[in-house]
Amino acid sequence: MIPKREKQVQEDCGDLLIEVLKNLVFFKVEDCGDLHMVQLEIVVIFKRDCGNLKGGIVEECGALQGDVVRLISSSSKSKSSKSLITCSTAFHFPPLNQLPDSTSYTQLRKNNLYSSWHSVNSTNTAPSSHNRNGFFSQNFNQKGSGFWIGQGLIGGVRNFSGESVSRESLNYDVVIVGAGPAGLSAAIKLKQLCKVNDVDLSVCVVEKGAEVGAHIISGNVFEPRALDELLPNWKQEEAPIHVPVSSDKFWLLSKTRAFPFPSPFNNRENYVISLSQLVRWLGMKAEELGVEIYPGFAASEILYDTTDKVIGIATNDMGVAKDGSKKDNFQPGVELKGKFGRVTLFAEGCRGSLSEKVIRKYNLRDKGQGQHQTYALGIKEVWEITADKHHAGSVLHTIGWPLDPNTYGGSFLYHMKDRQVAIGFVVALNYHNPFLNPYEEFQKFKHHPAIKPMLEGGTVLEYGARTLNEGGYQSIPYPVFPGGAIIGCSAGFLNVPKIKGSHTAMKSGMLAAESVFRTLHEGSPLEAFWDSLRNSWIWKELYTARNYRPAFEYGLFPGLALSALEHYIMKGRFPWTLKHGKPDHEATDEAQLWRPIDYPKPDGVISFDVPTSLYRSNTNHDHDQPAHLCLTDPKIPELVNLPVYAGPESRYCPARVYEHVVDETGHPKLQINAQNCLHCKACDIKDPKQNIKWTVPEGGGGPGYTVM
């Protein structure tokens, strides 16, 4: 069923009508909230004596897309009265036998589609609010026009878009999307600056997770450099940073052995933490300073003003059923924006949905360092192991087996406190083999003779997965756009050789806060953020680290050799900057060039199947909501992904969201189990035709990480 947006337009509008039609046909897809396959069909219903107008429109329509505008003559029944109400009764739910083309209306009513209805130049006020399947918005202008909103079915429209007036709007000076390290650091810094300068700015942080820290997952060996600058008394204030790094090992694995190498990291003053716990603590600190944090609300739409400047965001409508209709507990989204000159910061983490939109819209990649962003998928489990095998603060990284020399990736194993161990596997998403399954590689890795003994006797507490950026210095986009900035991993400040991104994310948030404060308080341009970034230690760090990851394009051992050269001798002083290879989604080879990999079955003790692991991630979404994973073209999975690439999405997704099944007629079909989604964004990155668009589901859903 193809969604339709139909506008029945009254007569008597002449040029205005033609203008309206032109605008409707060419309205931007963004306006309807991420629904890329809206099929716009304009039905113009004329009263009988509108011959001239009809002719005019036919002329114009030739210039517009021909089959978009349909011209229908109204029935004779409505000709008696020119009043809106009579017309509206006739047009709302016209008796089927009276319209020449009644099928569309039958479908409309049957499928709970609402239709957009605009009446121009009528003299009456609101028509009757009687409606069976449709509804009227509250917006009526003097002329008594109203709107029905077209509702999509496939992929689902989450917002009754275009109707910004029916939503409540709250004003804040600064709106931050995402309560992660970057977002919360920016919020805290802003409030600290306010206190010092005796100014008051209202700061609001929206977070799609059910609580602060629910969607935070990271290794994590934490470098407290940024936290020392932000909250110097973090130790006294009982930040959950207790375990200093006690040992640092680096192994190259073969199938049966582990070869120790000198550790390329300097983790001496760092700590092994759970980033989710730290972010919770940061959230507490932010609330103490007066920041308003709203978990459970997903920012799904960017609001622009007439000059194409970002003025804020709008949250999802809640209580929308799977077919798009409103449930009993429907609540429209809320707009969070500022009065003139206020700022929006996007801190959504790697491949944030709104950040990507903004980057595309304002072309920030080209304005920045120029290269595309490259990503890796990290899958992590937190185990509780026996006390004799646990050494708090022990840090281990491995490379090599089970990945082949052409796939960049490795594992990490960090011992936290309370006998807990964080073990994870990271696979760069520019791998070539479409049969590679990062989750299964992780399970295979756990069976290595050097790793397995440590896990025996333990239990898994939590599981999760998330993509991370590996583009580094070369891929930093220009972070400032009209109306705000992008901070944290949404821009991409992860230091790949160090495998640390939390400290740079926090620092970028703090720098943004300083620039924002100066913009709001003194009026200086927000572009100063870019300059302050380039003068900060983030830049120096990322510059020094810029050639490590691209060196691995040449393979594992050349990459290791170049990295050793960089680390011990050159330290970033090479006069050149290596470029990245192909973007991740283009790097997948066709399936015919490779053979399927036979992964061992999970044993239920050390390795597990996906459903068991998924259960441990506490992920949950309300099942009765539109799927938040949208296919731009629903045919591509059957036509391209499956035959050419053997359906890689069923392998790289760590949550088994995508399954290629055969439907009743025997045709292959892509089944999307959106309820399982871990919000890792791997599908958005790795889909070969970039057909899958990750959009934000109803707030409060998703994983529930507590010690990740």
Partner 1 sequence: MKIMVAIKRVIDYAVKIRVKPDKSGVETSNVKMSMNPFDEIALEEALRIKESGRASEVVAVSVGPSQCVDTLRTGLAMGADRAIHVEFPGTLYPLSIAKIFKALVDAEKPGLLLLGKQAIDDDCNQTGQMVAGLLKWPQGTFASKVVLDEENKVVTVDREVDGGLETLCLDLPAVITTDLRLNQPRYATLPNIMKAKSKVIKKLTPQDLKVEIKSDLEVIQVTEPPKRKAGVILSSVDELIDRLKNEARVGPQWKRPHIIERGARRGYVRSNIIQTIER
Question: Which residues of this chain interact with partner 1, rule CB under 8 A?
Answer: 168, 170, 210-211, 214, 277, 292, 294, 297, 315, 318-319, 327-329, 331, 334, 336, 461, 615-616, 618-620, 704, 706-707
Rounded CA-CA distance 650/670 in Å is: 9
Rounded CA-CA distance 705/279 in Å is: 11
**Residue 328 CB, nearest approach to partner 1 (Å):** 5
Rounded alpha-carbon distances, angstroms, from residue 391 to 278, 394, 419:
21, 6, 8
Nearer to partner 1, 537 or 615 (CB): 615
The number of angstroms, rounded, from the C-alpha of 697 to the middle of its chain's C-alpha atoms is 10
**Residue 292 CB, nearest approach to partner 1 (Å):** 7
Nearer to partner 1, 225 or 326 (CB): 326
Which among 343, 441, 374, 381 is positioned nearest to 217, based on CA atoms?
Answer: 381
CB 400 within 8 A of CB 253: yes
Could you tell me which residues are beta bridge partners of residue 343?
Answer: 174
Which among 185, 468, 233 is positioned nearest to 349, based on CA atoms?
Answer: 468
Rounded alpha-carbon distances, angstroms, from residue 381 to 95, 169, 402, 409, 620:
60, 40, 18, 17, 18
CB 415 within 8 A of CB 382: no
**Residue 553 CB, nearest approach to partner 1 (Å):** 40
**Residue 386 CB, nearest approach to partner 1 (Å):** 11
Rounded alpha-carbon distances, angstroms, from residue 552 to 110, 430, 487:
56, 11, 27
Which among 47, 28, 46, 48 is positioned nearest to 38, based on CA atoms?
Answer: 28
Which among 98, 89, 85, 91 is positioned nearest to 140, based on CA atoms?
Answer: 85
| Three-state DSSP string of 434-460 | CCCCHHHHHHHHCCCCCCHHHHCCCEE
**Residue 272 CB, nearest approach to partner 1 (Å):** 16
**Positive or negative, the Cα torsion across 196, 198, 201, 206?**
positive
**Residue 318 CB, nearest approach to partner 1 (Å):** 5
Nearer to partner 1, 472 or 697 (CB): 697
Rounded CA-CA distance 161/71 in Å is: 25
Nearer to partner 1, 417 or 656 (CB): 417
Nearer to partner 1, 294 or 554 (CB): 294
| Three-state DSSP string of 187-208 | HHHHHHHHHHHCCCCCEEEEEC
Burial 488-503 (b: 16+ CB within 10 A, else e): bbbbbbbbbbbbbbbb
Q: What is the DSSP letter of 402?
A: T
Count CA atoms closer than 13 A to 1's CA, side-chain side: 22
Nearer to partner 1, 26 or 615 (CB): 615
Nearer to partner 1, 292 or 589 (CB): 292
Nearer to partner 1, 174 or 486 (CB): 174
Nearer to partner 1, 88 or 420 (CB): 420
**60 SS3 class:** helix
Nearer to partner 1, 170 or 606 (CB): 170
Nearer to partner 1, 400 or 704 (CB): 704
Nearer to partner 1, 99 or 214 (CB): 214
**Residue 137 CB, nearest approach to partner 1 (Å):** 18
**Residue 703 CB, nearest approach to partner 1 (Å):** 10
**Residue 704 CB, nearest approach to partner 1 (Å):** 6
CB 70 within 8 A of CB 103: no
Token duo for residue 359: 């980057």
Which among 525, 528, 527, 516 is positioned nearest to 201, based on CA atoms?
Answer: 516
**Residue 309 CB, nearest approach to partner 1 (Å):** 23
**Residue 324 CB, nearest approach to partner 1 (Å):** 18
**Residue 615 CB, nearest approach to partner 1 (Å):** 6
